[in-house]
Structure 1
Amino acid sequence: MKDLKFEQKKSLSRLEAADQLAALAEALRHGGNAELEFGPGTLSMRIPEEIRTEVEVEVGDGEIELEIELKWPTARTEAGA
């Protein structure tokens, strides 16, 4: 069972998608406590110095799907405390 799950699916213009990714990149660049605006709400989370990443590209059925997954533990480590 997940402690929290946030999912948002909607169509964006290319520029809106770029703005959303730029805000995420800025949060990653600074780390620590980050706040990201998603539609009507704000997502607040702690971003540590080290994260795991996975990039997946699927082409089929007339579409390209690009998934960028970022993972990190919820508990602080000694190095991150």
Structure 2
Amino acid sequence: MSDVEISRTESLTRQQAARLLSALADALSADGKVEVELGSSTLKLHVPDNIQCEVEVEVDGDEVELEVELTWSTASAATVNSAAAVQPAVAKPVRPRAGKAGSARS
């Protein structure tokens, strides 16, 4: 289980989604200090120089889901580098989805 998880789902126009992704990209490429707006609150994150990125596309009937997941460790760089050297990358199989009623991912 996660120590902390914050989730928000909202409907956006394609242009609003583009602005959101562009703002995230600008923050990542600048100094790695990323601010994510969650309603009336702002979540501030420091993203290190090296991260893991997973892109997943799922088509389920007439619904398409594009998921971009960025993952990084808050452990020291030496710990992360030694762990990465021991654990090889493994491809993750696409998992079938149960019914979509009530589920939303952001």
Same fold (TM over 0.5): yes
**Is 1:55 aligned to 2:55, yes or no?**
yes
| Structure index of larger Rg | 2
**Is 1:4 aligned to 2:4, yes or no?**
yes
**1:39 alignment counterpart:** 39
Gaps of 5+ in 1: none
One-letter amino acid of the structure 1 residue matched with residue 7 of structure 2: E
Report the aligned-residue RMSD: 1.4
Task: Please state which structure has a larger fraction of its residues in strand.
Answer: 1
Q: What is the TM-score when the length of structure 2 is the normalising length?
A: 0.66
Residue deviations 1:8-48 (CA, integer Å, cap 9, x gap): 11111111111111111111112333222232110111110
Task: Please state which structure has a larger fraction of its residues in helix.
Answer: 2
- Checking the alignment, whether the CA contact within 8 Å between 1:51 and 1:71 is kept in structure 2 is yes
Distance 1:68 1:51, change over 3 A: same
Q: What is the TM-score when the length of structure 1 is the normalising length?
A: 0.84
- Checking the alignment, whether the CA contact within 8 Å between 1:35 and 1:44 is kept in structure 2 is yes
Q: What is the deviation of 1:76?
A: 3.5
